Amino acid sequence: MTTYSPRPIEPTVLKELRTTDDAGRPTAPFTDDEGGSPLRCCLRRSTPGERIALVSYAPLRRWAAETGADPGAYEEVGPVFVHADACAGPDTALADYPFANAHRTVRRYSRDGHILGGRLVDTGLEAAVTEAFDDPDVALVHVRAVEYGCFLYEVRRD
């Protein structure tokens, strides 16, 4: 049985983003007084008092660099929250898809980095990801927030 795993931003990429983001801007850490920001480094929400940073991230560009794909106009840069300093990453006991308690979009990409479609998901995020990968042309899935369109995390076949 094929499984699919949500992937945080890789530690080597995080190290780069904590200095200069994918838009070329220097990172500006701050203390999150309220908490609740979706952290892409450890796939959980921030807690009040944590030091975090809002950085520009180009997930498809970075995936394309790994695979040799050419996403063309589908490449985009958007805001993501990360811890300001290195963290332990996601809890290895993570049983559910992170940030699944709201409307999400499951966006499917081909091996060449082009969008194959998307789906609005109210409930059943895991089922929507499985359905996306039922299409053999799907190489990668992005889960995105509906309210802002922000990239939340990438899902790949295990």
CA dist 150 and 158 (Å) reads 24
Residue 67 has pLDDT above 70, yes or no: yes
Give the per-residue pLDDT at 44.
94
Q: What average pLDDT does the segment 64-68 reach? A: 94
Residue 1 has pLDDT above 60, yes or no: no
Give the per-residue pLDDT at 121.
94
**Percentages helix, strand, coil for the chain, rounded to the nearest 5?**
20, 35, 50
Radius of gyration of the chain (CA): 15
CA dist 151 and 120 (Å) reads 14
Q: What average pLDDT does the segment 62-66 reach? A: 94
- Per-residue model confidence as pLDDT tens digits over 132-148: 999 999 999 999 998 88
Residues 6+ apart with CB under 8 A from 31: 49, 50, 51, 52
Give the per-residue pLDDT at 148.
83
Residue 106 has pLDDT above 60, yes or no: yes
Question: Tokens for 139?
Answer: 């190489």
Give the per-residue pLDDT at 2.
64
Please report, for the chain, the start and end positions of each structural domain, with discontinuous segments joined by +. Answer: 4-157
Give the per-residue pLDDT at 83.
98
- Cα→Cα distances 55→66, 100, 109, 128, Å: 21, 22, 23, 28
Give the per-residue pLDDT at 12.
96
pTM: 0.92
